[in-house]
Amino acid sequence: MLDFLWNLGSFIVALGLLITAHEYGHFYVARRCGVKVERFSIGFGKTIWRKVGKDGTEYVVAMIPLGGYVKMLDERVEDVPEELKDQAFNRKSVWQRIAIVAAGPIANFIFAIIALYFMYLIGVPSLKPVITSTTPGSAAAQIKVNEPMQVTAISGQAVRNWEEVNLALVGHIGDDSLTVSLAPLSGLQGLDTDTRTYTLDTRQWRFDPEKESPITTLGLGVYRPAIEPQIALISEGSAAANSDLKVGDTLVAINGQQYTDWQAFVDIIQHSANVPVELTVRRNGEQFAISVTPASIKNSDGKEIGVLGVSPTQAQWPENMRLQLEYGPIDSFAIAADKTWQLVAVSFKMIGKLFTGDVSVKNLSGPISIAQGAGNSANYGLVYFLGFLALISVNLGIINLLPLPVLDGGHLLYYFVEVITGKPVSEKVQEIGFRFGAALLLMLMSIALFNDFARL
């Protein structure tokens, strides 16, 4: 219940900020173009806060925080007194109307830059993208790794951490090839920094973004600190919690077989659902035999597996693999703008690949997934929440630019037709477009909601 409330609260804060930024873009440019704004509303439905400004605009916060709007004086909607007609939206030039409509999505891109600016100004703890192996038979199998290598670029785009590697790889879903640039890890065992670039054949590269990582499916073996056989955590209410196991116990053997590595231990546990196993552990210099029965759960494929409820101790990350992405006031702005551009480019690529079939509609996410993302990022701290806000803000801006008549992009389409033809699109054509756009948008939202519920 607490997780639900935290996710909901984070979602409302995130959506409120993004909607405010978007609508303020429309509001600001409309006012500069001499349009009278009658209402600025964040949310829909019943009003929970209201104030009339000196400018005559009614500022409202409504009950349902799933959108917002700026109501402008418009003769197409209502009768306008003669003395106010020059302040009506429909009386403005086509280029002014284009500026007012485009200002919303542009404000979302500006908001993303601001969020990322403060994120980089505060500093983001991160990890260098270091690989220690490649998977035989994978797209990356041609890369021979004899020592830890750092990924420095994907298809010429510089990358500094695993998040940037992931973002760059996602943009290549459905492509025939990509390049990976590697250099020996700086400062490790006195290695030099010669960069080597490999062209990978990705025609057979397929993966489910919801379940698999593009990094591992490509065949890159991510460096991870050694896992030690000492129990670091026991989950409350788990099979381990109901046994004699304790935090700090060192695993020695399972069912009489010597402990070798954590993955082998996990494999045995997963194949022992509801079947007692005997663990030999060392505690305070003495060895004990403890019987425990792993609980049974179903994995994402619907298969029944055993779960013990323990986590191992992991060695510390080496200092030369840690990275602090922190910059000064000027550099932070340049890097934030560049990162926003990358997010915009990848988002447009994904939309294109959604229509070509390279990306499945199963990957569409709705409000439930966004709420979970908001809560998870907020859990990690302010800098991660800022990064999440930037990502969603970019996506909100791009979605609104889609040429669907119910969205900003649809209005812009009509206005550009007016620029080319010299006359407005007919009311009949606009009405047909609005109906088609509403139906398509409703279908996409339904798919996204279905996907959300399927992931729960």
Q: Which residues are catalytic?
A: 23
Tokens 């060192």 identify what position? Answer: 250
State both tokens at 262.
Answer: 């954590």
| Phi, psi of 222, rounded to the nearest 5 degrees | -70, 135
Contact 171, 165 (CB under 8 A): no
Identify residue 244 by its one-letter amino acid code.
D
Stated as kind and residue range, the H or E segment containing 133 is strand 130-134
Q: Give the whole-angstrom CA distance, residue 304 versus residue 295.
A: 10
Name the nearest CA neighbour of 178 among 160, 198, 207, 204: 198
Residue type, 35: V
Whole-number Cα distances in Å, 12 to 7, 51, 64, 68, 455: 9, 21, 10, 13, 21
Calpha distance 24→412 (Å, rounded): 18
Integer CA distances (angstroms), 239 to 309, 331, 347, 455, in order: 6, 51, 43, 25
Q: Which residues pair with 199 in a beta bridge?
A: 179
The Cα–Cα gap between 155 and 178 comes to 6
20 contact partners, CB below 8 Å, separation of at least 6 = 42, 68
The CA angle 24-27-32, to the nearest 5 degrees, is: 125
The answer to whether residues 353 and 359 touch, using CB atoms and an 8 Å cutoff, is yes
Fill in the DSSP letter of residue 84.
G
Q: Alpha carbon 8 to chain centroid distance?
A: 17
In single-letter form, the type of residue at position 408 comes to D
Sign of CA dihedral 143, 140, 303, 373: positive
